[in-house]
A and B are shown apart, each in its own frame.
Chain A
């Protein structure tokens, strides 16, 4: 068997069999399943909780009107007529029989007014809803008193007809916004992709650096590099971990997909639609995969290079700091860009290699970007990966033979020196 494959398989299999991997994956899967069932779970807790409000009604039928409106809004608030004085009602609230007391009366203009009293801090949600319902009833009554008939009232309250339209200039200039549906679909995908890339770089980048540092600190490295070339080992590691990542993320996606399939009825109209994954175009999906892989490779190569400089496990975190900061910065920029994809910040960062996978994907997802721009950014990324791989391979070759406690840029130079002829 090819030695590259041996290292790759060893990296992959020894990781996938490890306890920590199995446990993290299991936790994530539980999380995904819980997320898909979030509505059932919330209902489980919600069922018991109707907010009962005692009403002392000095008017005719307003309680009923409010109740009708509340139930048509699927609100958890239920009004109950209270036969007794206000003091008795307040007593009942203190005994936690009711959430609060609503006293409804009519003023001299025959318009309803109300006092809501409760002992709980959290009642703003309830009194807000009650206020809104009462407001509507009051408006209806007032309009009715002014002699405006129901047909006109309907016209007043009907939503205005408002549509957005795109002005197309024939050829894409890089600044066009997609239609609203496409945009929200893209936004959802961009969101998911940003998180996935962020998660992948931090998790798997760290894993690569740790793996290499582990081989160095246990000093098995010298045997390894005497049997196969350090450069092919480095790439076997990067791809081995990538395969591991794909296994893990793939597992999440498969489980997520099945959960969505079984829970389709509940989820349609829920957060699934909000993210609009269903509307995203095929091109966006392909770009997502391309930028995800390129982004991973870029950061993984950087991590491998840095990992080779460390000789103790304790120093890995310290050296990984710049990588983490970079990905956090890229993530932040992209998050800002979600709301203003046309800003020059996003345009510029979409051509800076470490930002490209996030910023450029955001642009292709949400705007019409001319193909040459996307192509250019991909070429820049591939070039950067190759350059990093070239430098990384040399640093790796020297770095793995270097043992010491310090972790600084000096080591970087030393490693390069070790790997070349003087």
Chain B
């Protein structure tokens, strides 16, 4: 059940919101969409769901176009949160669940399970407008997954939540994946993507700048980070060839190096200068990759 985007372009007038995007989203994995605001994430999701048509290119799920005959297998958490403010949680989800092909009784059983899991079982008979924003979001999340979709699209699922709730939802996402759901989610929080996704794509102005498996992306990026804490002045490090970027902190520096070999030279250059409290070679973070890749296309 792979989701395949082939040369997808969406133009609004002369503006290309998504430009020549080709992706393969593997089955039963979590796929991360990264990008700054306006990079084209939401537009891509809407095209995948068939809410808007792409200008050119094709989007196929398991070899077929996604249309309303498949909507019972798809879950969607839109970026713009919204439920009927005046309806009770129960009525709300019964309606939305039925629209995804469920029976009333199934909805109630599932709903009770989810409310229990999110530690809010007494919300069943509350109106949405009575709930806090974070709790509304939990209900919204339930509405996206209650029908056990095969493909789940989450647009910025963790924005506006406190850390405890973020953990709760993350765990739910991981569990859904284990149960066999393919999940596509977008975020501009690198650490969430790094933590959850095996595969990802970074969008920049509608174009993919990086895509593939997380490990390969990091490996092929090549650059690594070196953290040095020492009792002497470290300014000279900037002048060593192969050191790309230096960030100063209170107790030391973090610098990006072009390869592991540069890190070795760095290590040698510290010899005899004084006491070194910490020297660590670190894999690049997604954040570094994003800044570099996104930065490149700005220049």
Contacts and interface: CB of A to CB of B under 8 A. Distances in A.
Interface of A: 1, 3, 6-7, 10, 14, 215, 218-229, 398, 401, 403, 417-422
A223 B143 contact: yes
Nearest to B54: A421
B150 to A, nearest CB: 14
Contacts of B83: 218, 220, 223
Nearest to B85: A218
Interface size class of B (residues with CB under 8 A): 20 to 34
Given A1-B98, A226-B74, A219 B53 contact: no
Contacts of A218: 82-85
A220 B91 CA distance: 14
Contacts of B68: 3, 228-229
Nearest to B10: A422
A227 B71 contact: yes
Nearest to A219: B82
A401 B11 contact: no
A154 B143 CA distance: 87
A224 B68 CA distance: 11
Given A7-B99, A401-B51, A422-B11, A223 B78 contact: yes
Nearest to A224: B99
Contact of B71 (A10, A226, A418, A421): A226
A222 B81 CA distance: 9
Contacts of B99: 3, 6-7, 224, 227-228
Given A224-B99, A420-B53, A421-B53, A219 B78 contact: yes
Contacts of A14: 87
Interface in B151-183: none
Interface string B67-98: 01001001010101111110100000001101
B52 A417 contact: no
Nearest to A214: B84
With a 10 A CB-CB cut-off, give which of A3, A10, A223, A225 has the most chain B CB atoms: A223
A421 B51 CA distance: 12
Nearest to B50: A226
A10 B99 CA distance: 11
B55 interface: yes
A226 B98 contact: no
B49 interface: yes
B98 A223 contact: no
A417 B49 CA distance: 18
Given A3-B99, A223-B143, A422-B11, A401 B52 contact: yes
A229 B51 CA distance: 9
A227 B78 contact: no
A6 B84 CA distance: 16
Contacts of A229: 68
A224 B98 CA distance: 11
Contact of A226 (B10, B49, B84): B49
8 contacts: A215-B84, A222-B82, A226-B71, A401-B51, A403-B80, A418-B12, A422-B10, A422-B55
10 shortest interchain CB distances as A-B pairs: A219-B82, A222-B78, A227-B99, A422-B55, A220-B82, A219-B80, A226-B76, A422-B11, A421-B53, A229-B68
B55 A227 contact: no
B82 A419 contact: no
Contacts of A226: 49, 51, 71, 74, 76, 78
Contacts of B11: 422
B100 interface: yes
Contacts of B76: 222-223, 226-227
B189 interface: no
B55 A221 contact: no
B102 to A, nearest CB: 10
Given A3-B99, A226-B49, 18 more contacts: A3-B68, A14-B87, A219-B82, A220-B84, A223-B78, A223-B83, A226-B74, A226-B76, A226-B78, A228-B68, A228-B99, A401-B52, A418-B52, A419-B52, A419-B53, A421-B54, A422-B12, A422-B55
A421 B100 CA distance: 27
A220 B85 CA distance: 9
A237 to B, nearest CB: 14
B127 interface: no
A98 to B, nearest CB: 62
